[in-house]
Structure 1
């Protein structure tokens, strides 16, 4: 490439030539974007978990403020008696809540910076490059602002009780002021501000607006479901109260629908906490399945590439000398599509109309094979296999074999089915074939899988190389075999799957530790919410316990 030439500009100027020549161009910028796509998804997941944990913590803060306000009812009433205005008292307590939110946000930001400093040390062994931790001032300010805003929003609803405290409650703590239209409007405003604030946070944290709306909608549905379950539970227990049960059972059940019960808050805390913990653990399990290689006792741990026909015996002998088992060699024939049902591939690629074959499927280089039987990772979904002993549909009688089997998804992309004709270009030689059947391939299982499998005899005269799978248990023997392979057959490449799995296990262990930390943090937030919810009626239960003991109830009751 000429000096000073921009790769993406060059790609943009010659894209038509590349397409006509079936050339796929990838720049360094393209590769960098692909590499960072996974980190963006992980970052979005972490932001979602953090936002949901913030919501759970906000519920806990609201519950704790509710307890605090109930304890300060007399103090607020005294302030009202000596002339304090309702708005002044409300603003004073709101300022306290925001100040506590600021303290908590500062502590959270400090902990996050400390974790950021620690993270490069934890993953240094699994990354090929050094990571330098830098503090982003914008992120620090955003964290502080988010914490303070969440504290203010979640404090609004419980603090509205202060605006309804009458001076008379300084003398009569059990006095409850009337619910007025103004108080209802205040609650609607507070809940609207809370919902709107959470929606804005979701849209801000999401990579796309629709993702933020979907997350906010799903979370709202979960909260409504939990709240509806709590309401239904209180109504069912009230209607079907176990009147003939023991006193302990009746008292416990009655607490679910008693005045000032915290059934809904406890249900939200436990349900949302369980929801979040299950989510993060499910993600960890999913990562484990994606990053793991099936390492059973008989599974191969060596993969050979580019084995030439005259090198098959040499590879087999090297593996046997190292104490390994048999080598499973599979022929690979590179080919491109020359025509579909007589229509040239170049004409298909020039056709821009919708509904035709997918361009990538027509343009790509295929690596085909021939096989007499289905593999363990394949399932026949249409047509009949040529190894079943029954002549397949469209059998060509005594003519040379021409049947091929396509992956079902590939057949959909190519717009072909049973009986359609595909001509392959195998290094300039046309090879006509007919689609005999379609397969469903399990690409997640570790095996040598192919999009196109031909019946034996179709590609017998075509140039080919081989892929091989083998198993050598002893790590030292595997290393010696690889050294001998480089010396005797330098063109053959080998991939040690055991080493790859070890690296993946190390990475997965670090990721799993981070996810378990998130689960612990969420569980801790749920415990705070639960404790705050139970503490709300603590004084009322203490008075009831004293009354029951006065009436002769035992301590165990």
Structure 2
């Protein structure tokens, strides 16, 4: 019976199925991406690192650290730091990542260069390998020279690939590889320079890396060094990319929920039209269970086919996500088909379709055979207890699926709660609209307008389902648009003339006067001249750092104990700082205990409070301090911010270097200043924040493409739900239009009635969705980004009219058979 009835209603059932397809496709494509990514991380973990394990240190290794390193016999080593590089050919300058390499690195993967021989010979020939994109930007070729600090050497070739590098990381500071033996000649490793020493190891196949890490990590922590194995790095990268997958999974899941709501609504209308047939079947002896199973089998088959087609589409689209994220991935993702993801897609189709359709299907269980003789519909709803039980099962199932996607109880609960609130608001708007129209019906309006408004609350109306589906799609897309706009707006604000856009690092004390003179000659102002003093914690209250590190039950985070703090002193707080506790002391003449201010993250991770004492080691000199204030710091602002802040009058005579900030008018002025400074002071590191802003915008654009691509599934699903809902009630609408034609309505009036109804629905649904997006983004701006939010008018001018137009076009397609045909002819066709 299910098969026979399905043949007669195949068009409608195909529309039900299409509601599921895109939601399933979205879930499957992200699942496949996540599975392939994890598999690639596992298979390529050695190639990502280029070695089996690495020991690294931010400073020259201590005697004990060097003893451990030598005992393991490193196969290669490097020293890495960021500096300015100059190209004598055209006087160009650029911030680069200098990597002084020694040994045959990498052991896995490859260092690709043009020409290929350059990677093999650069150490022997004492030449440089320069990032290929950087060479292209500055029109540099093999054979030209590069100047790093006081060292000038020829360029052997273009570096096109090295393990672990991504497009984003090389955009900030492109790599320049030189022989390690030449690093000393650059004269760039001075006081205050940030550098890193790395030692690469190729392990025997029998070595247990997890055991090695477990035994060596505590020993290396005590000597300010760290160990990373290819397996731990793979796990860390996996967690990072897993967060992206989880977010995209939620967007896909919303599309699936939206499709399921469309199924529930469409099935409800479909079953209402089948109740008379069900009553006839019961007159012929069909049981309630049999009549229920006839349509349940149809829904399950719809779910299976929807899951199957959605899975196939997901398989076809699986290469799209890696394409958008390739700049963020340190390797090329090899695409493969995971059978589990395919099975999950099909099972989700069956589960979600049955779950959301079971409540409307229960009407067939409670229909009476007497309905054959009755004209009214009667109350065929399931008992309240059954309805509540079904709703509980639906919510519980959605929670379990979201928990499976997020692997976090609180996040899953928040997602379900947020989704429920959005649906409740949209449904509440629909119900409120129907109530207002009934009570405040404009009886002085023209006939087409009154009839269109009546259609919003008449039997078989589509107000709730259409406002919900339209509003949710508009909400998703608008929220993503507003959020991206908020982030881009933040970078635009940072580029205003009152804020620095050029930061000069590593300015030595004896260079400050001449540097400022050069800036003045170029007409460039000095906005900030910030002294930097490096120090480490030696004692927290009465316990030494060494004692705390040896305590296996400690709650103090290890980074605080091992970190080299770059601190400053000044008499005023900046705009990015606010005092949370205590009071800021701008000046101190104390010689015994110095009042300081710490950031809230240091207070949290070091378990420090107002009044606690911390002793710092400043280049061998111990300085006792007392915490008198705790600050919040806006680290998102691209300006120097500090964890530890000293008052004026204490650190002036300590070993220090300076950071100078300025604002340049354009790229040409920036290039001139950088060229003048680097030629005179090769040790300087200059960061052009305008380039950072461009990079941030590029990253946001690429990420927004991925998010918008996933949101497109929700939008298309909403459109399909709309088509399904409208087409499901096609015959009901045709009969109403025929009745209007019979009593004398003209084609123009019928067209106007339908158009106005769908204008009301499309306009209200999309407008509510965009307004909800404004509220959601305002919450993000206030509580997450802590920025002012001024919503763009683009969603109101494009999304609202665009969705409304689509709704009207789909709605009017319902009555095209009525227009231009006689009532009798139309009724014969539809019957």
Matches within 5 A, 1:258-337: 258-281=458-481, 284-285=484-485, 288=488, 294-297=494-497, 299-312=499-512, 316=516, 325-326=525-526, 328-337=528-537
Aligned position for 1:39: 241
- The structure showing larger relative contact order (alpha-carbon pairs under 8 Å, at least 6 residues apart) is 1
Residues 378, 440 of structure 1: 8 Å contact kept: yes
Aligned position for 2:260: 58
Question: Alpha carbons of 1:372 and 1:206: their partners in 2 closer, same or farther (altered >3 Å)?
Answer: closer
Aligned position for 1:338: 538
1:42-92 deviations in Å (ceiling 9; x for gaps) = 211111111121111111122223333344555556666677666555444
Aligned position for 2:568: 369
Question: Alpha carbons of 1:87 and 1:374: their partners in 2 closer, same or farther (altered >3 Å)?
Answer: closer
SS in 1 for 2:654: coil
Matches within 5 A, 1:23-422: 27=229, 29-73=231-275, 87=289, 90-124=292-326, 129-164=331-366, 174=375, 176=377, 179=380, 191=391, 194-224=394-424, 226-227=426-427, 230=430, 240=439, 242=441, 246=445, 255=455, 257-281=457-481, 284-285=484-485, 288=488, 294-297=494-497, 299-312=499-512, 316=516, 325-326=525-526, 328-340=528-540, 344-347=544-547, 360-381=559-580, 385=584, 402-411=594-603, 414=606, 421-422=613-614
Give the total of aligned pairs: 546
Which structure 2 residue ranges, 5 or more long, are not aligned?
1-68, 73-202, 754-831
SS in 2 for 1:457: coil
SS in 1 for 2:319: helix
Question: Alpha carbons of 1:13 and 1:343: their partners in 2 closer, same or farther (altered >3 Å)?
Answer: closer
Alpha-carbon separation, structure 2, partners of 1:139 and 1:180: 37
Aligned position for 2:23: none
Question: Alpha carbons of 1:146 and 1:292: their partners in 2 closer, same or farther (altered >3 Å)?
Answer: farther
Alpha-carbon separation, structure 1, partners of 2:369 and 2:608: 82
Residues 329, 466 of structure 1: 8 Å contact kept: yes
Output the aligned Cα RMSD.
4.3
Deviation at 1:36, TM superposition (A): 3.6
Question: Alpha carbons of 1:156 and 1:12: their partners in 2 closer, same or farther (altered >3 Å)?
Answer: same
Aligned position for 1:451: 643
Alpha-carbon separation, structure 2, partners of 1:286 and 1:34: 30
Deviation at 1:450, TM superposition (A): 1.0
Question: Alpha carbons of 1:478 and 1:48: their partners in 2 closer, same or farther (altered >3 Å)?
Answer: same
Aligned position for 2:617: 425
Question: Alpha carbons of 1:454 and 1:178: their partners in 2 closer, same or farther (altered >3 Å)?
Answer: closer
SS in 2 for 1:468: strand
Which one has a larger percent strand, Structure 1 or Structure 2?
Answer: 2
SS in 1 for 2:534: strand
Deviation at 1:13, TM superposition (A): 2.0
Alpha-carbon separation, structure 2, partners of 1:144 and 1:79: 32
Q: Which TM-score applies when normalising by structure 2?
A: 0.56
Alpha-carbon separation, structure 2, partners of 1:297 and 1:552: 69
Alpha-carbon separation, structure 2, partners of 1:531 and 1:46: 26
Residues 585, 596 of structure 2: 8 Å contact kept: no
Deviation at 1:334, TM superposition (A): 1.0
Alpha-carbon separation, structure 1, partners of 2:501 and 2:335: 37
Alpha-carbon separation, structure 2, partners of 1:192 and 1:411: 44
1:16-51 deviations in Å (ceiling 9; x for gaps) = 544555655555555444444332222111111111
